[in-house]
Amino acid sequence: MQKGFTIWFTGMSGAGKSTISAIIEQRLRKAGAPVEVLDGDEVRTHLSKGLGFSKEDRDENIRRIGWVAELLVRHGVVAVVAAISPYRAVREEVRAKIGRFVEVYVECPLEVLAGRDVKGLYKKALAGEVRQFTGVSDPYEPPTYPEVVVNSSLETPEESATKIWATLKGLGLI
């Protein structure tokens, strides 16, 4: 692993992006790769503090994450991004800028997400109490051609990570 690249996990809230990306991070570290994780929730607290949830603010948030990922990749680091990133066009924009980019779609049906939602956000969103909630009152646009699709309602996080790892090997990235 001499060149950096980005692994971009996208999917709805609660799909398992952070859980699976943590497994991939550990595997990469064990293989000796320099790795940085950019988790959507943490980025919103620091880099994107003050942004709301309008389409424009969500796009700006993803552009900021993409900019940091691009810098990391340029310096030989593997950037692992776990962010909802609901809009296809801005994900494609970031992909084009970074270049070495592996998109992982963490798929999970809404019913399963609502069932595992410990914070009760899906319940509130489905009742109309939370506005601009991705996948309920705001759109989520699944990737058209992701390098990897995992389904967290059918696979364990470890099984999903193994599938992603095999793709990274197949692409010659590890």
Domain ranges of the chain: 5-170
% the chain with pLDDT above 70: 98
Round to whole Å and give the CA distance between 153 and 108: 6
Residue 133: alpha-carbon gap to chain centroid: 17
18 has catalytic annotation: no
Residue pLDDT, tens place only, 117-155? 878 889 889 888 888 888 888 899 999 999 999 999 999
80-105 per-position pLDDT tens digit = 999 999 999 999 999 999 999 999 99
Nearest 5°: the CA angle 73, 98, 1 is: 35
Burial of 139 (0-12, 13-18, 19+ CB in 10 A): exposed
pTM: 0.93
User: 13-65: per-residue pLDDT in tens?
Assistant: 999 999 999 999 999 999 999 999 999 878 777 777 677 777 888 888 899 99
pLDDT at 1 over 60: no
Please identify which residue in the block is written with the tokens 């990469």.
28
CA pair distance 101, 29, nearest whole angstrom? 19
CATH entry 1.20.210.10 includes domain 5-170: no
Candidate list 21, 85, 152, 160, residue with the active-site label: 85
